[in-house]
Chain A
Amino acid sequence: GAVVSQHPSWVICKSGTSVKIECRSLDFQATTMFWYRQFPKQSLMLMATSNEGSKATYEQGVEKDKFLINHASLTLSTLTVTSAHPEDSSFYICSAKPGLATTGELFFGEGSRLTVL
């Protein structure tokens, strides 16, 4: 299957700092990538849809100025958590799918576990 790589896997930062998470599609091009957040014992919540070459589409309740998404190439999307606070501590997972079809299997990165002290 297709491979999506996410980095870093773990990050611990101080409150008020910014953290960047990278999501790469290693063996396919992805015009669209999805960013999810998962709190303990909860499901994945879609945060935003990252579109190559254009602005991301954010879900209701997700602050676009806090969670900056950049999808500068067909294989890389980044999520920057700005001015992180302890309540931003969570498991962030990106996903993508090969091809231009709007259906089909999603492939996930390994996830990034953020802890804000």
Chain B
Amino acid sequence: RKEVEQDPGPFNVPEGATVAFNCTYSNSASQSFFWYRQDCRKEPKLLMSVYSSGNEDGRFTAQLNRASQYISLLIRDSKLSDSATYLCVVNSQAGGTYKYIFGTGTRLKVLA
């Protein structure tokens, strides 16, 4: 089982739609969680961190469910510019070291 799993999509949605992505992680000791956005042939950029209480940033809402070991990202009122790959990232520590593990990414295409 992969440490971080996502549905690769693609999700093709019309402009204005609401779309949700889920991500599951296997390491129950994981400490912090993020959603990154990656445009084609570019480096990933942070979209938002994910907090236990859930957090919202404009049209984007992130949730964390530690008991079920998944995080989610909700995008409301989708824009054409939201088309990208969304990467779930989990930070885990073991033996005094830490690392960031990426999910496979979920491709989103917002259609006019």
Contacts and interface: CB of A to CB of B under 8 A. Distances in A.
B31 A103 contact: yes
Per DSSP, chain B at the interface is: strand
Contacts of B97: 49, 57
Question: Size band of the B side of the interface?
Answer: 20 to 34
A105 interface: yes
Contact of B34 (A36, A42, A105): A105
Given A102-B93, A111-B42, A49 B87 contact: no
A26 to B, nearest CB: 14
Which bucket holds chain A's interface residue count?
A: 20 to 34
Interface string A1-44: 10000000000000000000000000000001010100000111
A103 to B, nearest CB: 4
A61 interface: no
Contacts of A106: 34, 46, 89, 100
A108 B44 contact: yes
B39 to A, nearest CB: 12
21 contacts: A34-B99, A34-B100, A43-B103, A46-B99, A46-B100, A46-B101, A46-B102, A57-B97, A93-B43, A95-B100, A102-B31, A102-B91, A102-B98, A103-B31, A103-B32, A104-B32, A105-B46, A105-B49, A106-B100, A110-B43, A111-B42
Interface of B: 31-32, 34, 41-46, 49, 87, 89, 91, 93, 97-105
